[in-house]
Chains A and B, each alone.
Chain A
């Protein structure tokens, strides 16, 4: 590729015979220049912001003790977030008799179908997802579950974040012990 033609005349030109000794060619090889160009290009592509951070909207309800929202048992689904990315859920209210069957656990992948199922089988006016987070769950868990609400197109106003009650905390603890989750 590189061509430093030091021969007389340089390339195709046919000079009138060799008079002056060495006539250096004016051809410059541009390969390293191109290499440099692409190197700098790659550098800038990777260090500048191509993926912009997005912002997710959060709507917090006003904590008005007078305006306790009434939720129908048939339309309610409670989703609880525990440590270690565990998700627990139950429908309606926890009855002491059937507590062991009702309290189920799943993962984030599974919860999407369950949310969708519930949404399809309930009239929209009764639909309410109650989200409760354990103190050991992470910020990511909370955001992911809110994201799941958006992915399943649950309209805002049909899900709410509430504090956990002792019964639920105890249930989570028992389930964790039973499953050996640290």
Chain B
């Protein structure tokens, strides 16, 4: 019997390096990307080939599938001014406590006649249960809200305002609601605004694809 044992090589792999890589990638993803805020109103937007990114801070008009319209005043610097202006111009006579509560809400989605009672209610109405801002031609309250918005931005570069007005509509929302939203904006001389969509690849072979290719070369 041979006395020399066959030299055995170790089959264990040192996992330290692998572990380092994994945690490096993890740290990258945590720091570099942003968390998606939990969406109170689920809206599935249609797709478009536009490549411009949607701004973070915006005056967002949301159209839900059922045809309800919600307004989110994302610009913290003007939010108070807009709400106070709305209060005075529409003669809502909200008390300072109610005003403060309204300023803290994320979504504005109630017609004016329900607003006061909702602000005094002890329980907060969830966004899905709200009736939405009326936009029909006889009572387009959205137009009045947008009037307050334009008042808050008066005297400033109007392009900044235009870049902030976003319409985020569910793909299944019916066209008349969108038409009413457009009317509300037109009534306030807002002719340029943006629509939030999901990114879509430019179809191959189309005109846009060709011009895109030409620009790159």
Chain B residues with Cβ under 8 A from A138's Cβ?
171-175
Most buried by B among A29, A50, A143: A143
Q: How large is the interface on B (under 10, 10 to 19, 20 to 34, 35 or more residues)?
A: 35 or more
Interface SS majority for chain B: mixed
Taken together as a complex, chains A and B put the C-alpha atoms of A141 and B18 apart, in Å, by: 49
User: Least Cβ distance of B9 to chain A in Å?
Assistant: 11
- A37 vs B22: C-alpha distance in the bound complex, in angstroms? 6
List 16 contacting pairs A-B, 8 Å CB cutoff, sorted by A.
Answer: A1-B13, A30-B16, A34-B15, A48-B35, A54-B48, A54-B51, A54-B53, A55-B53, A55-B54, A57-B50, A112-B206, A133-B175, A138-B172, A140-B172, A147-B197, A153-B208
Assess whether A137 is in contact with B174, with CB atoms less than 8 Å apart: yes
Looking at chain A's contact residues, the main secondary structure is mixed
Residue pair B191, A136 in contact (C-beta under 8 Å): no
A166 interfacial contact with B, CB 8 Å: no
Give Cα A56 to B182, complex, Å: 15
- Chain A residues, CB < 8 A from B199: 51-54
> Once the chains bind, are A44 and B29 in contact (CB under 8 Å)?
yes
For chain A, which range describes its interface: under 10, 10 to 19, 20 to 34, or 35 or more residues? Answer: 35 or more
Cβ-based interface call for B135 (8 A): no
Instruction: Report the separation of the CA atoms of residues A15 and B178 in the bound assembly, to the nearest whole angstrom.
Output: 83
B48 pairs with A59, CB closer than 8 A? no
Bound-state CA distance A45–B25 (Å) is: 10
Contact with A along B159-173 (1 / 0, CB 8 A): 000000011011111
- Tell me if B48 and A60 are in contact (CB < 8 A): no
**Which among B33, B35, B46 is the interface contact of A144 at CB below 8 angstroms?**
B46
Contact with A along B67-88 (1 / 0, CB 8 A): 0000000000000000000000
Return chain A residues, CB-CB under 8 Å to B57: none
B171 partner residues in chain A, CB cutoff 8 A: 138-140, 143
Known: A3-B12, A30-B19, A138-B171. A55 touches B35 (CB 8 A): no
Q: When the two chains form the complex, which single residue of B12, B15, B23, B208 contacts A151, counting CB atoms closer than 8 Å?
A: B208
**Bound CA span A41–B194, Å:** 34
Given contacts A48-B35, A49-B36, contact A37 B53 (CB under 8 A): no
Q: Are A55 and B198 in contact (CB under 8 A)?
A: no
B16 near A135 (CB under 8 angstroms)? no
Minimum CB distance partner of B15 in chain A: A30
With A30-B16, A37-B19, A151-B203 in contact, is A55–B196 under 8 Å at CB?
A: yes
Contact A58 B194 (CB under 8 A): yes
